[in-house]
């Protein structure tokens, strides 16, 4: 039986219920994180927790739990459910509104909900990485002036509609322009383009979610690969001079993007920059397991010596693990 962590307790998934007056359900007032699990361990957990911490105040949510509690539940959910490779979802909702829609006015004893669940398996088959995927331009636009772009909010309908648009046209992803007509992001991915010997990606100001995989790729590209990287504002015509492009998210990692709106990107095949970054990224993912091992040995020995009463994340630089 699958179990979920809900508001401090492990419960069977089918009993993990959020109240009908929760503002997350009623108004989309909440945020979530999707965390990859590899080898039974959450990957890039520090970064996800950091984004979660920065996101909740944007929606006026003042959580009663600590990040250490979230981290502990996230680390525990794979073994509790026997999952080696999969995806953890951390969902935070604003909780019930007392007598109206105002966030922050909760009934006594209720408040923001914290739910941690897990799914098994890898969503993207290897064949997609070998061949690359195609995208279309979404008919909707990202409003880069909206604070919601920058948080992974429960308001996901626009992205889901775009994803359906892509599926209807037989491709994996739909790319959003922002209302200024600049390249922004995919429905559930960030976008990178290699052009003129540089690696380009739309800046956060273009109305994108600052993705975890995007941040890792930027670090790898600037650091280990020593690439010339720019975060900027780009027109859709960038694809005409692109040598390569790829998409990122926490579950897919680095996915070659080989066609947009029916036209090939570069020579229409995964390119060397993409492949090098994918290799480096996956090495880092594998290394996270090693880091977790190293950390848990350290934690065990510190706990033995009474140094550590609460498991906290941090202190391990992912780049150290593979360099
Ligand atoms: C709109 C949007 N942009 C970008 C991303 C990529 O973010 P991450 O790398 O944190 O998965 C996602 C992930 O779901 C997303 O929904």
- The reported pLDDT for the residue numbered 97 is 79
Q: Which residues contact 159 (CB under 8 A, 6 or more apart)?
A: 187, 188
User: What is the per-residue pLDDT across 141-171, written as a single tens digit (0 to 9) for each?
Assistant: 999 999 999 999 999 999 999 999 999 999 9
- Which atom of ligand 1 is the closest one to the Cα of 156? 16
CATH class of 3-120: alpha beta
Q: Are strands 133-142 and 253-260 parallel, antiparallel or unpaired?
A: parallel
Region 28-49: mean pLDDT is 97
- On the question of pLDDT at 314 being above 60, the answer is no
In the structure, what pLDDT confidence band is assigned to residue 252 with cuts at 50, 70 and 90? very high
Q: How far is the CA of 249 from the centre of ligand 1 (A)?
A: 5
**Is 176 in contact with 162 (CB distance < 8 Å)?**
yes
Structural fold of domain 126-280: D-amino Acid Aminotransferase; Chain A, domain 2 (3.20.10)
User: What is the per-residue pLDDT across 36-46, written as a single tens digit (0 to 9) for each?
Assistant: 999 999 999 99
- The reported pLDDT for the residue numbered 290 is 54
Instruction: Indicate the burial class of 269 (C-beta count within 10 angstroms; 0-12, 13-18, 19 or more).
Output: middle
Residue nearest to atom 15 of ligand 1 (CA): 188
Higher pLDDT, 232 or 303: 232
- The reported pLDDT for the residue numbered 291 is 57
- On the question of pLDDT at 24 being above 70, the answer is yes
Q: Are strands 198-202 and 41-42 parallel, antiparallel or unpaired?
A: unpaired
- On the question of pLDDT at 306 being above 60, the answer is no
Average pLDDT, the chain: 88
- The reported pLDDT for the residue numbered 288 is 76
- The reported pLDDT for the residue numbered 289 is 54
Q: Which of 7-11, 63-67, 269-273, 289-293 has the lowest average pLDDT? A: 289-293
Region 254-269: mean pLDDT is 98
Q: Quote the longest CA-to-CA distance of the chain.
A: 61
Residue nearest to atom 4 of ligand 1 (CA): 189
- On the question of pLDDT at 106 being above 90, the answer is no
User: What is the per-residue pLDDT across 193-228, written as a single tens digit (0 to 9) for each?
Assistant: 999 999 999 999 999 999 999 999 999 999 999 999
Map out the domains of the chain as residue ranges: 3-120, 126-280
Q: How far is the CA of 150 from the centre of ligand 1 (A)?
A: 10
Q: How far is the CA of 137 from the centre of ligand 1 (A)?
A: 17
- The reported pLDDT for the residue numbered 186 is 98
In the structure, what pLDDT confidence band is assigned to residue 110 with cuts at 50, 70 and 90? confident
Q: Which of 96-105, 141-150, 284-293, 299-308 has the lowest average pLDDT? A: 299-308
- The reported pLDDT for the residue numbered 185 is 98
Region 273-280: mean pLDDT is 98
Residue nearest to atom 5 of ligand 1 (CA): 189
CA distance 162 to 167: 9
Mutational pocket test of ligand 1: of 211, 247, 250, 254, the residue with most ligand atoms within 8 Å of the beta carbon: 211
The ligand 1 site (C-beta within 6 Å) comprises: 34, 159, 185, 188-190, 209, 211-214, 248-250
Higher pLDDT, 268 or 101: 268
Candidates 147, 120, 110, 132; CA nearest to 21 is 110
In the structure, what pLDDT confidence band is assigned to residue 316 with cuts at 50, 70 and 90? very low
Mutational pocket test of ligand 1: of 32, 249, 251, 285, the residue with most ligand atoms within 8 Å of the beta carbon: 249
- On the question of pLDDT at 310 being above 70, the answer is no
- On the question of pLDDT at 300 being above 80, the answer is no
């Amino acid at each position: 039986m699958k179990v979920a962590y809900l508001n401090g307790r492990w419960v069977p998934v089918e009993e993990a219920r959020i109240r009908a007056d929760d503002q997350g359900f009623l108004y989309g007032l909440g945020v979530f994180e999707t965390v990859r699990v590899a080898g039974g361990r959450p990957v890039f957990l520090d970064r996800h927790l950091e984004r979660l911490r920065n996101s909740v105040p944007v929606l006026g949510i003042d959580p009663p739990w600590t990040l250490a509690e979230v981290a502990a539940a996230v680390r525990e959910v794979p073994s509790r459910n026997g999952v080696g490779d999969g995806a953890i979802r951390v969902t935070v909702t604003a909780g019930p509104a007392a007598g109206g829609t105002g966030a922050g006015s909760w009934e006594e004893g209720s408040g923001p909900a914290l739910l941690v669940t897990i799914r098994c398996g890898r969503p993207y088959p290897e064949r997609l990485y070998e061949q690359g995927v195609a995208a279309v331009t979404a008919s909707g636009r990202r409003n880069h002036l909206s604070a919601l772009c920058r948080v992974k909010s429960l308001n996901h309908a626009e992205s889901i509609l775009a994803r359906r648009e892509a599926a209807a046209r037989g491709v994996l992803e739909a790319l959003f322009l922002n209302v200024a007509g600049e390249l922004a992001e995919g429905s559930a991915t960030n976008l990178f383009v290699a052009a003129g010997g540089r690696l380009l990606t739309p800046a956060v100001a273009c109305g994108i979610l600052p993705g975890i995989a995007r941040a890792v790729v930027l670090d790898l590209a600037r650091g280990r690969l020593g690439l010339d990287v720019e975060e900027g504002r780009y027109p859709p015509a960038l694809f005409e001079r692109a040598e390569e492009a790829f998409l990122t998210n926490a579950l897919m990692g680095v996915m070659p993007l080989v066609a947009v709106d029916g036209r090939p990107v570069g020579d229409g095949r995964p390119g060397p920059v993409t492949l090098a970054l994918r290799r480096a990224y996956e090495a880092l993912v594998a290394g996270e397991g090693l880091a977790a091992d190293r950390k848990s040995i350290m934690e065990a020995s510190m706990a033995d010596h009474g140094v550590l009463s609460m498991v906290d994340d941090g202190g391990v630089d992912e780049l150290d693990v593979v360099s």
